Amino acid sequence: MPVSATQPVLVGHGKNAVMILNELRPGLRYEFVAESGESHAKNFVMAVTVDSQVFQGSGRNKKLAKARAAQAALSGLFNMQLDQTPSRQPIPRDGLQLHLPQVLADAVSQLVVEKFSELTDNFISPHARRKVLAGVVMTTGTDVKDAQVICVSTGTKCINGEYMSDRGLALNDCHAEIIARRSLIRYLYSQLEYFLSNSPEDHEHSIFRRCEQHGYQLKDGVQFHLYISTSPCGDARIFSPHEAAVEDQGDRHPNRKARGQLRTKIESGEGTIPVRSSNTVQTWDGVLQGERLLTMSCSDKIARWNVVGVQGSLMSYFSGPIYFSSIILGSLYHADHLSRAMYQRVADMEELPQPFTLNRPLLSGISNAEARQPGKAPNFSVNWTVGDQGLEVINATTGKDDLGRPSHLCKHALYSRWVRLHAKLSQTLRIHVAQPTLYHEAKQGAADYHSAKQTLIRAFENAGLGAWVKKPIEQDQFSLTQ
């Protein structure tokens, strides 16, 4: 693909978006659409209609909203970007099939927000309250118009240690992007389940196709895009808690020791802390006696997905690694910090086992950065996957719903689907081991996956970025008959 197809035309600093658009289409009128937020955190939305298409922009005042509406029109109709500072430029990806990174990013963001609006009664439902919204969008070709929202989720909290489950029935981490990835795995299982049918017509409905040798792979053109309404906690966010200013020239201190460090979320709180260099093994009895349960930050987990894939170890029996083609942030996008956190800090990794690789997805902000969500974070997390009737609501403290029922995203639920597929599709697996009893054994059977994961963990340690903190091993020592 020629570079020009993916690179927007950059326009110098001399003129602003409103002036340039006015030269291209004189006499345009901007309309005030909406105003929201408290007095200290107002958000205005303005719209402009160009060539019978409506473009919206939002910002903390009407002038900024108008400028962003004009920028959206320039980007969408004329493939023009104002010459943004380095820290706000999208970082392209090799092989991304869709042109115009900014148009893709804005479309993915809009699709996720619209789906969440639809699921929460136009944001009126009590479960619309959230700090962070995430979602995964699937594209199947070069046109964003064919995109489909696969899942949406919210949440910013982790389980309280006393509610840990040794039967895989509680969700440990209810941060929105972590829940979005579990929802995507659930969707991938539903797509493999088409192959349980004896009818070739049913097989055609799946996004997977049978490989000639063994296993399954995504059909040509299928790509997944992760949207998060703000930068993921940990290394991507810690040094850039504010929107990039126009004059922001990127990270001025890229070599500071704190850059790139592994960090953990803390139980019953928000924010992250650097990992200790030793004693990264957590024990079941220690946590139950009151030691704080530590969970790796979202930045660190996404970096791991960029090596081992989003599909997890169990899905590796059926499919090779599946990587996000793009990661799009609704706010706090800083190119330097995000690229470092997502993959750059482990670029000196040893060779990975085939077919694993270090994935470098498209990274981008959106034209109209989402307003900050002030106020106390709710204690619940919601999730929806395509095919669901409505939202599932989970109490993040207990990892279950308010009636004590396990989530359809919990380890036990996903493992039971895996066991069924493993039994029925055993002739076509990529990995041949006897049907395991314990969840832990099933995961360990994916040898190449674990080799890739260990290579990543060594890369962090060799770069002086800390040691990966593991959950107590008792969490995974369960079978479905318990």
- Spatial neighbors of 297 by CB under 8 A, at least 6 apart, are 232, 233, 234, 235, 262, 263, 264, 265, 272
Does residue 177 have an active-site annotation?
yes
CA dihedral for 57, 62, 64, 67, sign (positive or negative): positive
pLDDT tens across 160-216, in order?
Answer: 999 999 999 999 999 999 999 999 999 999 999 999 999 999 999 999 999 988 899
85 falls in which pLDDT band (50, 70, 90)?
low
CA torsion angle for 77, 79, 85, 87 (degrees, to 10)? 100
Residue 59 — very low, low, confident or very high, per pLDDT cuts 50/70/90? confident
Interatomic CA distance for residues 364 and 405, integer angstroms: 37
Burial 11-42 (b: 16+ CB within 10 A, else e): beeeebbbebbeeeeeeeebeeeeeeeeeeee
The pLDDT tens digits for 335-377 are: 999 999 999 999 999 999 999 999 999 999 998 888 877 778 9
pTM of the shown model: 0.83
Catalytic residue among 31, 38, 118, 177: 177
Pick the CATH number of 17-82 from 3.40.1050.10, 1.25.40.10, 3.30.160.20, 3.40.50.300: 3.30.160.20
Weakest mean pLDDT among 47-56, 151-160, 264-273, 439-448? 264-273
Give the N- to C-terminal CA distance of the chain in Å, as an integer: 54
Helices (H), 264-410: 284-288, 298-308, 312-315, 335-342
Residue 19, pLDDT above cutoff 70: yes
* Rounded percentage of the chain residues whose pLDDT exceeds 90: 64
DSSP letters, 199-223, are -HHHHHTSSEEE-SSSSEEEPTT-E
* CA quadruple 15, 81, 69, 73: dihedral, nearest 10: 110
- How do the domains of the chain map onto residue ranges? 17-82, 87-237+261-476
